[in-house]
Amino acid sequence: MHFSIPETETRAGDGGAAAYVAYNIHVNGVLHCRVRYSQLLGLHEQLRKEYGANVVPAFPPKKIFTLTPAEVEQRREQLEKYMQAVRQDPTLGGSETFNSFLRKAQQETQQIPTEEVVLEVLLSNGQKVKVTILTSDQTEDVLEAVASKLDLPDDLVGYFSLFLVRETKDGAFSFVRKLQEFELPYVSVTSLHNPEFQIILRKSYWDSAYDDDVMEHRVGLNLLYAQTVSDIEHGWILVNKEQHRQLKSLQEKVSKKEFIRLAQTLKYYGYLKFDPCVTDFPEKGCHVVVSAGNNELNFQVRLPNEQIKEGSFKVTRMRCWRVTSSVPMNNGPSGSSPGKSEVKLELAFEYLMSKDRLQWVTITSPQAIMLSICLQSMVDELMVKKSGGSIRKMFRRRVNGALRRSDSQQAVKSPPLLDSPDASWEPMAKLSSKLTSVSLRGISHSSSANDVGANDFHGNYAFEGIGDEDL
């Protein structure tokens, strides 16, 4: 995940206490929580106690006297680097100490009390699943509650994830991010104060071979079937007239497995399609639609002469990638609130164009972080597969934290029959995107001339292990 502390706030103390500096922690460009230096120091000390001083990165030192504005800015930068370093460490970033700190801070910042609530979670076919949870329940809790309501077996829960989505004007959904272990889903969605944002359940793997595992169970089959129908209806999977006729026939026969099998042969099955953005490949300023899937990024580029060209970049030939963000100064609309400036995000990856030639390719998109997460999860799956492992895993229930269960399970309804394809459908139009899990890994050096620190890079361990096979 992309952690940043883009600004500080001077806030009044309670009960006449002195004012203090608060640090706004953003995750993926969105305010997650607001914390004080002393709170972060407490987290640091707890991590040192549990994992040792040699594992935990250095923490910005205390100051005896009141900080000057320059020192406040320096401390902000140091704390940002500290949080990024902790998150990128596989042990520290995945620890319950770190994640529970962020969850508690998120709840306190949004001032949402712990109480029982009903949360609606969408399925791909538009069906709503209502689960009774606590506002303080973390992502794993909510996912388990949804799985239980649907009667999804424990060993299939790991194939699905919860995603924050935003409904678009045409009724489709644009995927904002995958909900993570350090956040509270109810707080995350309600703190946005916008009914367009909702939570949806979708599969979270890339390799379609895992569809076989999911289709072994009735509920898994229904969820995968509903998602496939939805992706076809929204044009995320390309279908010609004859294929559409075959699919509709299978749907009328309620031949769900055969429907999915046919869909697996279609172009862009299992891909995530992102909103139109800008790239510098093959030349600067080109408009592009990026799709992530099949261990590659697919580009549909509109050249300055309006010609459209398509090409793909294999993840196994990406040496590394990075996400950079910047906040333009004083360019917001008049009357806009401080701290609301639009963040410019870029994903750049170093690609092995030929045997001895590496080249940087940049994508400028608000969804750059999601693209990065997609790349990392593809690499993770490739490495698991290369080592002979499997993503199949039992969904572990924690000893402390039994969820309130509804006695009645909810069935997944079959989607309506496919409509006839629209002859005017434009493949470059309304698209969507999705997140999958990621653990950030830095590399120790950079061959780029850009001024970016090593911790901003995501090293690709599949590059050395698998990349040569593609040359």
pLDDT at 358 over 80: yes
Q: How far is CA 46 from the centre of its chain?
A: 28
* pLDDT digit string, tens, across residues 199-241: 999 999 999 999 999 999 999 999 999 999 999 998 899 999 9
Where is average pLDDT lowest: 65-79, 244-258, 312-326, 424-438?
Answer: 424-438
Cα distances from 29 to residues 187, 225, 442, in angstroms, run 17, 33, 20
Q: How far is CA 394 from the centre of its chain?
A: 22
Q: In this structure, are residues 174 and 433 in contact, taking their beta carbons and an 8 Å threshold?
A: yes
DSSP string, 133-170: EETT--HHHHHHHHHHHHT--HHHHTTEEEEEEEE-TT
All CATH 3.30.1520.10 domain ranges of the chain, comma separated, are 3-110
Q: Which residues contact 258 (CB under 8 A, 6 or more apart)?
A: 250
Q: What is the mean pLDDT of the segment spanning 362-377?
A: 88
Per-residue pLDDT at 263: 97
Per-residue pLDDT at 308: 92
Q: What is the mean pLDDT of the segment spanning 305-317?
A: 93
* pLDDT digit string, tens, across residues 79-106: 989 998 898 888 998 899 999 999 999 9
- 231 forms beta bridges with none
Q: Is the pTM of this model over 0.85?
A: no
- Strands 116-122 and 197-203 come out as parallel
pLDDT interval class at 372 (50, 70, 90): confident
Per-residue pLDDT at 429: 23
* pLDDT digit string, tens, across residues 3-29: 566 555 655 555 555 567 888 888 766
Mean pLDDT score of the chain: 80
Per-residue pLDDT at 12: 53
For 3-110, the fitting CATH number among 3.40.50.2020, 3.40.50.80, 3.40.50.720, 3.30.1520.10 is 3.30.1520.10
Tally the residues of the chain. 471
Per-residue pLDDT at 445: 29
* pLDDT digit string, tens, across residues 109-140: 999 999 999 999 999 999 999 999 999 999 99
Per-residue pLDDT at 227: 95
Per-residue pLDDT at 432: 23
Stronger pLDDT, 391 or 111, i.e. the higher one: 111
Q: What percent of the chain has pLDDT over 70?
A: 75
Written as six digits, the tokens of 280 are 């510098």
Highest mean pLDDT of the ranges 5-14, 160-169, 179-188: 179-188
Q: Most distant CA pair in the chain: distance in Å?
A: 76
* pLDDT digit string, tens, across residues 325-338: 765 544 444 333 43
CATH architecture of 206-270: Up-down Bundle (1.20)
Written as six digits, the tokens of 204 are 């979270």
All CATH 3.10.20.90 domain ranges of the chain, comma separated, are 113-204
All CATH 1.20.80.60 domain ranges of the chain, comma separated, are 206-270
Q: What is the mean pLDDT of the segment spanning 288-304?
A: 94
Residue whose C-alpha is closest to residue 446's, from 339, 349, 332, 371:
349
CATH architecture of 113-204: Roll (3.10)
